[in-house]
Amino acid sequence: DTEVTQTPKHLVMGMTNKKSLKCEQHMGHRAMYWYKQKAKKPPELMFVYSYEKLSINESVPSRFSPECPNSSLLNLHLHALQPEDSALYLCASSQSAGGLATYEQYFGPGTRLTVT
Amino acid sequence: KNQVEQSPQSLIILEGKNCTLQCNYTVSPFSNLRWYKQDTGRGPVSLTIMTFSENTKSNGRYTATLDADTKQSSLHITASQLSDSASYICVSEGRYSSASKIIFGSGTRLSIRP
C-alpha cells in the first residue's frame, strides 16, 4: 500500500471557523509533511514531522497548527484563516527525513480549501 | 540563494512526439534532484530521484539526466501520450546536519495534443 489519504477532499470555511485537515499513511513512514499549493504555483513546504516530532516549521502563521498524534496520522488545525489561505493543501510522507539516505516522498491527493 | 528554475514555462506538442524539459538548480549542499508529475488538482507523483553520483535514470518513457557540475537536469519524454498532459516539477533537496531543505521549481505545464 503506497497510498497517502487526505480528508476532506474539499472544505469551505468562514474566517471565524475552526476546522481540521487529516492525513493518514500506513506505509510505516516516519516523516510526514504539509504543503500549501496555490493555483499554477509549486507546492510550498509548511511543516515537517520526523518521528512524530516537529522538525521544520517554515515560518507558518500560528493560525495553522499541525499535530502528529501517532506515526500514521498528521492533522492540520485551522483557525481564523484569511481568504488568501485558500489553496490546495497537500500531505506527503517518506520513510525518513534528514540524514544521508534519500527517500521518495509520496503525496496525498490534497484538500481543496476555500476561505470565505 | 537556493533556487530551482525550470524551462520552458509551458509546452504544447503533438501526441507521439518527444520532448525535453529543463531544470537548473543552485541548492547547496546538494543531496538529490527529483522530478514529479502533477495532474491538475491532484498531488504530485514521483517520477525519478537522482543523487549527485547518478547521471541518468529512467522510468518507462521518462528519462532524467543530471549534471552535478553544471547543476542542470533534464526530463525527456519519449513517444508522448495524451495522459502525459500535466505539470512537471523539478525539486532539489539540500542536506544539512539536522534537516533538509526542499526547493520546488515552478514547473513546466505540458499539453499533449492529438
User: Is it the case that residue B31 has pLDDT exceeding 90?
Assistant: no
In A, residues 53-112, which contact B (CB 8 Å cutoff)? 55-56, 88, 90, 92, 97-98, 100, 102, 104-110, 112
pLDDT number for residue A57: 86
Rg (CA), chain A: 14
User: Is it the case that residue A59 has pLDDT exceeding 80?
Assistant: yes
Q: Which residues of B touch A (CB under 8 A)?
A: 31-32, 34, 36, 41-46, 49, 51, 89, 93, 95, 98-100, 102, 104-107, 109
User: Is it the case that residue A92 has pLDDT exceeding 60?
Assistant: yes
pLDDT number for residue A2: 67
For residue B105, the tally of other CB atoms under 10 A from its CB is 24
Q: Residue B81's closest CA among B45, B41, B111, B38?
A: B111
User: What's the grid cell of residue A33?
Assistant: 509533511
The model's confidence at residue A77, banded by pLDDT at 50, 70 and 90, is very high
Mean pLDDT of B25-45: 90
The model's confidence at residue B96, banded by pLDDT at 50, 70 and 90, is low
- Which 8-state DSSP code applies to residue B70? T
pLDDT number for residue B11: 97
User: Is it the case that residue B97 has pLDDT exceeding 60?
Assistant: no
User: What's the grid cell of residue A24?
Assistant: 493518514
pLDDT number for residue A99: 61
Mean pLDDT of A67-73: 95
Mean pLDDT of B68-72: 93
Percentage helix, strand, coil for chain B under 3-state DSSP, each rounded to 5:
5, 60, 35
CB-based burial label for A25 (10 Å; 0-12, 13-18, 19+): buried
User: Is it the case that residue A39 has pLDDT exceeding 60?
Assistant: yes
Percentage helix, strand, coil for chain A under 3-state DSSP, each rounded to 5:
5, 55, 40
pLDDT number for residue A103: 80
Q: Residue B27's closest CA among B49, B5, B56?
A: B5
User: What's the grid cell of residue A31?
Assistant: 516523516
Whole-angstrom Cα distance, residue A115 to residue B59? Answer: 39
Mean pLDDT of B15-44: 92
Distance from CA of B79 to the nearest CA of A (A): 26
pLDDT number for residue B76: 98
A110 vs B31, residue with greater confidence: A110
